Structure 1
Amino acid sequence: MKSLFKKLLAIATGGSLAVVFGVVLVSSLSRYLLNAPIQWSEEVAKYAMIYGTMFGTVLCYMEDIHIKFGFLKQGLPTLLTRILNLVLDLITLGTGVVLAWSGYLFVMKRGGIDAPGTGLPMSVFQSAMVIGGVCLVIAALFQIPSHFKAKRYEAEV
């Protein structure tokens, strides 16, 4: 299940990047070759980038390739490292809950406004916060049980 979730995140991240690339390419060609700019292109590219950032952040967290201060854990005993990693995953879980909840409140307050370029409700774009928060919660729930498996840390001893 965890690997399927990672694959979905990778596809969503790559898909968002493809949308950004495609929209910017078509918009540039339209503007400079046909002298007919696409009005909604900047808006769609910007929001696709936000969705991609949300998905990519969660994927980096799950792959443990995010930016971190690795030197803080160097030289710590294995037990302390395990506790620190568990605490960090619990903080990530809480952050995901806060992000999803605050995104939900934001969508409820301002989601009915129409986007100027596309005419779509802003809730379509603002939901990235909710979706990103929920994905972060799911990722943390996948990560937390691994702290209770001894095999993960046997190689570190």
Structure 2
Amino acid sequence: MDHLAQLFRRIADWLDLATRIVSAMLFAVMIVVVGYEVIMRYWFSTPTFWSSELASWSMVWVALLGFALAFRRMDHIRIDFHLVGLTGSLATVLAVLRYLIVAALAGVLLWQGINLTISGLRQTSPGLGLTYAWLYASAVASSVLMLVFLAELALRRETRPF
């Protein structure tokens, strides 16, 4: 079991790094595009037709990838004053319950994300000319990351509240 935990830790570390890089790049795209649109709209009176869509899509990707990253670090907002001091079997039971709830949430997000992505293949965005599958794939990516990070937390037997 130790080798499996190490393997998942390495995979999670690599995915974490890749996700942080992609998120930073998408955040930069969002800022540059919004800045460009402000300049074009208010200084040159020639707004672009694609900028708000690209900024919105980038924001959705950043938010959902950030959700998965925060989950791995257990950085989501929580009320844990009654759980912090727990040890032993009660802490383990509550951790397993949390893992099951998060796995169910990630499973629903994955299932619905796949359905949306498939249906988005038939729809094209007016501003970017891309299929909406690119937007909806963010839910699939986020849920897959959550499931990998969940497996890593479970294999290292993390019982702190998240």
TM-score by length of 1: 0.86
Any conservation in 1 of the 2:23–2:62 contact (CA below 8 Å)? yes
Q: Distance in 2 between matches of 1:67 and 1:127?
A: 25
Structure 2: gaps (5+ residues): 1-9
Which contiguous aligned blocks of 4+ residues in structure 1 show a shift greater than 6 angstroms?
none
Any conservation in 2 of the 1:90–1:144 contact (CA below 8 Å)? no
Could you tell me how far 1:75 is from its partner in structure 2? 4.2
**Alignment of structure 1 residues 1-150 onto 2, 5 Å:** 1=10, 2-147=12-157
Could you tell me how far 1:89 is from its partner in structure 2? 2.1
SS at match of 1:109: helix
Structure with higher RCO (Cα < 8 A, 6+ apart)? 2
Moved more, 48-57 or 30-39: 30-39
Could you tell me how far 1:136 is from its partner in structure 2? 1.1
Residues 10 and 94 of structure 1, relative CA distance in 2, 3 Å threshold? same
User: Percent of pairs identical after alignment?
Assistant: 23
SS at match of 1:67: coil
SS at match of 1:72: coil
Q: Deviations over 1:91-136 (max 9, x none)?
A: 2122212111111112222431110111111111111111111111
SS at match of 2:156: helix
SS at match of 2:125: coil
CA RMSD of aligned residues (A): 1.7
Moved more, 85-94 or 14-23: 85-94
Q: Distance in 1 between matches of 2:90 and 2:23?
A: 34
Q: Which one-letter code corresponds to 1:44 in the other structure?
A: L
Could you tell me how far 1:49 is from its partner in structure 2? 0.5
Structure 1: gaps (5+ residues): none
Q: Deviations over 1:15-35 (max 9, x none)?
A: 221111111011111111222
Any conservation in 2 of the 1:111–1:126 contact (CA below 8 Å)? no
TM-score by length of 2: 0.83
